[in-house]
Amino acid sequence: VYSVLKQIERPRAQGVSGATGHDVIIVDELRLEMGLAFDHLLFAAGILVQGSGTLAPPIWLTCLWPVFATTLMHLFLFLQTRPLMAAVIGAAGGAASYTAGTRLSDIAFTSVPLAPLSIALIWALLMPALLIAAARLAKFNPPRLFNS
């Protein structure tokens, strides 16, 4: 899936505000690896569990990361210059996404009040970090969308 997405993304990525296709691929691969490690840590730490008792994340959850990895240089581009807003959106979106995942699958939180809060805190740190990594690795200076 990831290889197919990269082949589609490569021509579009050429010339995207100074980032080359190669830069975008490197950044996406880094975010993919960080995301997979993040999910494995959630299961290993016992924040998330599967009904089957497996400690590894399910394949469908793993398949979401390549899709998300491609959004940070495009959809969330404006957040690269707004780390506080990125933290708020990361916290809310991260907690909401994993909560939705628990309702749609056999994944469950081990502690309902603490697990979503833990994920929100982690995503409040992770989202700005991913955006900073994207900007630095691609040697990319995002345009200011608003005069601030």
> According to the model, what pLDDT value does residue 65 have?
82
Give the chain's mean pLDDT: 77
Tokens (6 digits) for 18? 């100074």
Higher pLDDT pick, 13 / 86: 86
6 pLDDT higher than 80: no
Higher pLDDT pick, 33 / 104: 104
Angle separating helix axes 59-69 and 2-13, nearest 10 degrees = 10
Segment 121-130 shows an average pLDDT of 91
Question: Model confidence over 36-79: pLDDT tens digits?
Answer: 888 899 999 989 999 887 778 888 888 888 778 777 777 887 88
Give the rounded percent of residues in the chain with a pLDDT score beyond 70.
71
> According to the model, what pLDDT value does residue 143 have?
44
7 pLDDT higher than 70: no
Position 86 confidence tier, pLDDT thresholds 50, 70, 90 = very high
Rounded Cα gap, residues 22 and 25, in angstroms: 5
Strand partners, 107: 50
> According to the model, what pLDDT value does residue 21 have?
57
Tokens (6 digits) for 43? 């299961």
Q: Beta-carbon neighbour count of residue 94 at 10 Å?
A: 20
Contact 120, 94 (CB under 8 A): yes
Rounded Cα gap, residues 148 and 38, in angstroms: 33
